[in-house]
Amino acid sequence: MAEQGTESTGRARQPRTRTRASHSLDSVLAGAVEILDESGVQGLTIRALAARLGGGVASVYWYVSGRDELLDLAADSVLGGIFEQIADVGSDDAIDDLRTIAIAMFDTIVDRPWLGAYVLRDTELQIHSLQLYERIGEEVMRLGLTPRQVFHATSAVVGFVIGTAADLGQEPPAVVVSGEVTREQYLAKITGEWRALDATAYPFIHHIVDEFERHSDREQFAAGLDLLLAGLRLKAEAGSAEPLG
Residues that bind a copy of itself (CB under 8 A): 68, 117, 120-124, 130, 133-134, 137-138, 140-141, 147-156, 159-160, 162-164, 166-168, 170, 173, 190, 193-194, 201-205, 207-208, 210-212, 215, 219-220, 223-232, 234-235
Q: Which of 30, 37, 40, 46 binds DNA (CB under 7 A)?
A: 46
Lay out the site mask for DNA across 118-137 (x = CB under 7 A, - = otherwise). --------------------
Which among DNA, a copy of itself, none contacts residue 63 (Cβ within 5 to 8 A by kind)? DNA
Alpha helices (runs of H) in 44-117, residue ranges in sequence order: 46-53, 60-63, 67-79, 82-85, 94-110
- Pick the closer one to DNA by CB: 7 or 93: 7
Q: Which of 37, 40, 52, 67 binds DNA (CB under 7 A)?
A: 67
Using CB under 7 A as the binding rule, whether residue 2 contacts DNA is answered as no
* Stretch of 43-51, 76-84, 90-98, 179-187 contacting DNA, by CB under 7 A: 43-51
CB 60 within 8 A of CB 28: yes
Interatomic CA distance for residues 170 and 164, integer angstroms: 10
DSSP 53: H
Which among a copy of itself, DNA, none contacts residue 239 (Cβ within 5 to 8 A by kind)? none
- Coil vs helix vs strand at 202: coil
Q: List the Cα angle 29/35/37 in 5-degree steps.
A: 100
Least distance to a copy of itself from the beta carbon of 189, Å? 8
Segment 156 to 195, residues that bind DNA, using CB under 7 A: none
Residue 98 Cα to chain centre, angstroms: 16
Alpha helices (runs of H) in the chain, residue ranges in sequence order: 25-43, 46-53, 60-63, 67-79, 82-85, 94-110, 127-141, 147-168, 180-195, 203-213, 217-241
Interatomic CA distance for residues 166 and 117, integer angstroms: 7
Question: In the complex, which residues of this chain contact DNA (CB under 7 A)?
Answer: 17-18, 20-23, 44-48, 50, 54-59, 61-63, 66-68
